[in-house]
Structure 1
Amino acid sequence: MLEISNLSRTFFPGTVNERKALRNINLNLGPGEFVTVIGSNGAGKSTVLNMVAGKLFPDTGTVTVDGKNVTKMADYTRARYIGRVFQDPMAGTAPTMTIEENMALAHARGRFRGLGMGVGAKRRKLFVEELKSLELGLENRLKTKVGLLSGGQRQALSLLMATFSKPKILLLDEHTAALDPQRAALVSRLTNEIVQRHALTTLMVTHNMEQALALGTRLIMMHDGQIILDLDQEAKSKMTVKGLLGEFEKIKGAQLDDRTMLQ
């Protein structure tokens, strides 16, 4: 479903600030696979997501989604294949529009041209049913402006909107990092439920190693623009945070503590 081949990217080449963000990354995700990605700041995690989303282009390598080479495709064009939830709860919704209007935009994505703002009884019923799955009471607040919702409510709505059109790939970019522990736990639970319910192929970046171990079917660790560890579901189920730190030390010959991961 997602194939990343020999992906490389250097920022500020030929200058004193030159930095190799990605070094020949190779990663394949099968249909319905849920991969969590960990690594310290600057490891290349978000760069990979931005390459898949089309926000950045690689110097070398290719990105293939569902058999289609999208490497040079603009982000707004490949958006029909990709859903994304950002770290900032404000980023995935339109605050001056109502919940219903936001849902209408998400529903229209990839279906037809235009904003598709008209909401008839059939679509409204669909929105209510989808919102009920969040168990936040938002199905009773369709006319509420999204800007009046809490951060946790907005992020839950963003997650629902990103998956409404059943994207080929779902990208989660530290989407619980800005939330308090209670709301982060809620959004994590909803993430797991939605991904499993729709069998979505998912790539999730997180600094939280406990979350990375709890969610998903596979875990990869990145460092200095490379994938240095790749755990399948069985190996991941037996792994601990202490074990992950030990693996990093064994592979790279350097110490890494959980505070570094959580920066």
Structure 2
Amino acid sequence: MLELSKVSKLFNPGTSDEKIALVNIDLKLNPGDFITVIGSNGAGKSTLMNIISGVMTPDAGEVKIDGQPIQHLSEHTRSRWVGRVFQDPMAGTAPRMTIEENLAMAFSRGKRRGLGFGVTVGKRSFFHQQLQRLGIGLENRLRAKVGFLSGGERQALSLLMATFTKPQILLLDEHTAALDPARAELITRLTEEIVREMKLTTLMVTHNMEQAIRLGNRLIMMDKGRIILDVNEERKQDLTIAELLGEFEKISGGKLADDRVVLG
């Protein structure tokens, strides 16, 4: 479903600020894969997500979705195949618009848009049904401005919007990191349910090692722009945080530089 071949990215080439972000990344996601991605700051996780979503263009290599090269397509064009939820609950939604207006925009993603009403009676009924799945009462607040929602409520809405049209690829970019533990657990549970029910091919970046091990059927670890570890489902079932840290130290020759990864 998603394939990256020899993908590289270099920032500020030829200057004193030159930084290698990605180095010859090879990664293949089969349909229905749920892969968690872990690594310290600067490992290349966010750059990887930006390359896939179209925010950035790779310096070299190829990105394919369902066998079709997409590395030169715009972020807007890719949005018909790629859904993304960001770390910041304020991102991914329009705060001055209502819940139903935000959902209408998400519903129209990748489709031709005419001059008709964005929110019809039929759509409002559909939105109500979809919001009920979240179990947090947003179905009764369709005309509330999104800017007045809590961080957890906005993130739940962002997750629903990103998966509305059943994207071929779902990108979750530390989407629980900015939430308190209770809200983070709610969004994690909703994520598991939606990914499982819709059989979405998913790539999730997280700093939480326990979460990275518990969720999904594969785990990859990144360091200095490279994928240094790829753990399959069978091995992942019995993996511990201590073992994962040990693998990192053995492969990289050093300890994780980011305490948030260890403490997660």
TM bin (shorter chain): over 0.9
The equivalent of 2:34 in structure 1 is 34
SS in 2 for 1:193: helix
Letter in 1 for 2:178: A
Distance 1:36 1:52 in 2: 15
What percentage of residue pairs aligned between the two structures are identical?
A: 62
The equivalent of 2:144 in structure 1 is 144
- Would you say 1:98 and 2:117 are equivalent positions? no
Shift of 1:256: 2.7
Q: Deviations over 1:98-139 (max 9, x none)?
A: 111111111111232258653222211211111011000001
The equivalent of 2:65 in structure 1 is 65
Letter in 2 for 1:5: S
Letter in 2 for 1:100: E
Distance 2:115 2:60 in 1: 35
CA contact (8 A) 2:208 2:260 kept: no
CA contact (8 A) 2:6 2:62 kept: yes
The equivalent of 1:54 in structure 2 is 54
Distance 1:115 1:224 in 2: 48
SS in 2 for 1:26: strand
Change in 2 beyond 3 A, CA 1:116/1:240: farther
SS in 1 for 2:84: strand
Shift of 1:257: 7.1
The 5-angstrom pairing of residues 1-263 of structure 1 reads 1-114=1-114, 117-256=117-256, 259=259, 261=261
CA contact (8 A) 1:7 1:22 kept: yes
CA contact (8 A) 1:219 1:232 kept: yes
Q: Deviations over 1:222-261 (max 9, x none)?
A: 0011000000111111111111101001111212377252
CA contact (8 A) 1:101 1:117 kept: no
Moved over 3 A (4+): 114-117
SS in 2 for 1:87: coil
Q: Which runs of 5+ in 2 are unaligned?
A: none
Q: Which runs of 5+ in 1 are unaligned?
A: none
Q: Deviations over 1:78-105 (max 9, x none)?
A: 1111100001101111111111111111
Letter in 2 for 1:205: V
What do you get for the CA RMSD once the two structures are aligned?
A: 1.5
CA contact (8 A) 1:245 1:258 kept: no
Distance 1:101 1:115 in 2: 15
Letter in 2 for 1:218: R
Shift of 1:66: 1.3
Change in 2 beyond 3 A, CA 1:13/1:257: closer
Shift of 1:262: 5.9
Letter in 2 for 1:106: A
